[in-house]
């Protein structure tokens, strides 16, 4: 488990949970992980998430979403900006995933947002990950 990069740990747990056909995954809670979970929920990639108080840092329970055929909705989850190499983009330079079918998750001064909302609000920031 990576304590140095909680977002990479979160993305790996979601990716592995989908491949193992798990109904839910548990992740250590942080504000950035909650923001990423909120964007995934708003974009329809996960069913829901809730924060569980365990007396320490807390946990996020993410309920994964599957298609009618039983395949995970999230087919690819890739970390873009890493702690050793941060990637920043302006509103007009944000990456478009699968020609607009996927979503990029961006950390902005207004919070963590999808690339579509960043273009609408004309804000840029750190490209956290891409989801398709």
Segment 27-73, tens digit of pLDDT = 999 999 999 999 999 999 999 999 999 999 999 999 999 999 999 99
The arithmetic mean of pLDDT across residues 87-108, rounded, is: 95
What three-state secondary structure class fits 112? Answer: strand
Q: Which residue has the tokens 């190499």?
A: 85
pTM for this entry: 0.94
The arithmetic mean of pLDDT across residues 98-127, rounded, is: 96
**How many percent of the chain have pLDDT more than 70?**
98
**How many percent of the chain have pLDDT more than 90?**
95
pLDDT band at 3 (very low <50, low <70, confident <90, very high): confident
The arithmetic mean of pLDDT across residues 70-87, rounded, is: 95
User: What mean pLDDT is reported for the chain?
Assistant: 95
What three-state secondary structure class fits 2? Answer: coil
Residue 74: which residues within 8 A CB-CB, separation 6 or more?
14, 15, 18, 40, 45, 46, 64, 65, 131, 132
Q: Answer whether 104's CB lies under 8 Å from 129's CB.
A: yes
Crossing angle between the packed helical segments 31-42 and 6-19, to the nearest 10 degrees: 40
- The pLDDT, as a whole number, for residue 2 is 56
What three-state secondary structure class fits 9? Answer: helix
Residue 78: C-alpha distances to residues 10, 12, 129 (Å): 11, 9, 6
Complete domains list, the chain, with CATH: 6-131 (3.30.1490.10)
């Amino acid at each position: 488990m990576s304590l140095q990069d909680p977002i990479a740990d979160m993305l790996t747990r979601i990716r592995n949970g989908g491949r193992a056909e798990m109904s839910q995954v548990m992740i250590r809670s942080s504000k950035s992980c909650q923001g990423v979970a909120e964007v995934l929920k708003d974009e329809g990639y996960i069913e829901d998430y809730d924060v569980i108080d365990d007396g320490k840092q807390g946990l996020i329970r993410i309920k994964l979403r599957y298609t009618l055929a039983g395949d995970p909705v999230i087919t690819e989850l890739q970390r873009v900006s890493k702690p050793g190499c941060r990637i920043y983009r302006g509103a007009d330079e944000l990456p478009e995933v699968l020609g607009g079918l996927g979503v990029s998750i961006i950390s902005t001064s207004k919070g963590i947002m999808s690339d579509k909302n960043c273009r609408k609000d004309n804000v840029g920031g750190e490209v956290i990950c891409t989801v398709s």
